[in-house]
């Protein structure tokens, strides 16, 4: 049982659906006729990735995954990025779209974007469902963003706290008593 007393709803299932459709429309317009590789960052983006992917209509579209977490189990970025799993596909001649759950300090995405450019991608853009710009430590902005949020810790729809709550179908704000 998932308890409503430990979080407050931030984005409902229907709001998520609408947001994902709006992002997909923009991506479809921007990438029409291109060779697209949609790269999901494990594990947080998995639910968003799956929903977004099914709305992408670009004909020449591949997917891949990368894992490079900066989190050691708490609610703040360590800044130490470890590449746990690299993409498998060759990137020269491809336009890469990174799909992330939330852009926080920017440490993870800065590292991954640089890494994918070094692997020879023609272009690398960032699509994140949530953005917490007030916590940014690196000069990075998303190309596609679902919702800007305050400095709150959110869970659900793939987003976790200590690996829990990813299975919530909506996004909620975790009460600070839980993680402080
Ligand atoms: P960054 O490197 O600080 O930008 O961290 C980004 C990663 O931190 C995201 O991919 C999430 O996994 C995690 N993260 C940041 N903020 C939250 C949050 O509010 N809830 C859950 N995970 C978060
Ligand atoms: Mg993550």
- The CATH-assigned architecture of domain 19-68+81-151 is 3-Layer(aba) Sandwich (3.40)
Q: Where are the domains of the chain?
A: 19-68+81-151
pLDDT of residue 11: 96
Nearest CA to ligand 1 atom 9: 102
CA dist 120 and 122 (Å) reads: 6
Among the listed residues 55, 74, 137, the one whose alpha carbon sits nearest the alpha carbon of residue 103: 137
State the pTM of this model.
0.93
pLDDT of res. 7: 84
* Predicted pLDDT of residue 73: 47
Catalytic positions = 104
Query: Counting ligands in written order, which one lies closest to the CA of residue 71?
Result: 1
How far, in Å, is the centroid of ligand 1 from the Cα of 34?
A: 30
**pLDDT in the model for residue 135:** 94
Q: Which 8-state DSSP code applies to residue 80?
A: -
Residues 37-46 as b/e (b if ≥16 CB within 10 A, e otherwise) read bbbbbebbbb
CA of 110 to the centre of ligand 1 (A): 13
Cα 136 to the center of its chain, rounded Å: 15
From first to last of its 180 residues, the chain has per-residue pLDDT tens of 456 677 889 999 999 999 999 999 999 999 999 999 999 999 999 999 999 999 999 999 999 999 997 655 455 566 788 899 999 999 999 999 999 999 999 999 999 999 999 999 999 999 999 999 999 999 999 999 999 999 999 999 999 999 999 999 999 998 887 777
């Amino acid at each position: 049982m998932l308890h409503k007393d430990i979080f407050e709803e931030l984005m409902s299932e229907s709001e998520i659906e609408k947001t994902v459709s709006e992002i997909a429309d923009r991506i479809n317009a921007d990438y029409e006729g291109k060779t697209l590789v949609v790269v999901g960052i494990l594990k947080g983006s998995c639910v968003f990735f799956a929903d977004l992917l099914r709305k992408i209509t670009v004909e020449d579209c591949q997917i891949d995954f990368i894992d490079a977490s900066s989190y050691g189990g708490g609610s703040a970025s360590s800044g130490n990025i470890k590449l746990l799993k690299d993409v498998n596909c060759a990137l020269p001649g491809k336009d890469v779209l990174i799909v992330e759950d939330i852009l926080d300090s920017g440490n993870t995405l800065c590292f991954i974007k640089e890494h994918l450019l070094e692997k020879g991608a023609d272009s690398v853009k960032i699509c994140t469902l949530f953005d917490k710009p007030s916590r940014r430590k690196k000069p990075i902005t998303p190309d596609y963003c679902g919702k800007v949020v305050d400095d709150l810790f959110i869970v659900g729809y793939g987003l976790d706290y200590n690996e829990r709550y990813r299975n919530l179908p909506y996004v909620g704000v975790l009460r600070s008593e839980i993680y402080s």
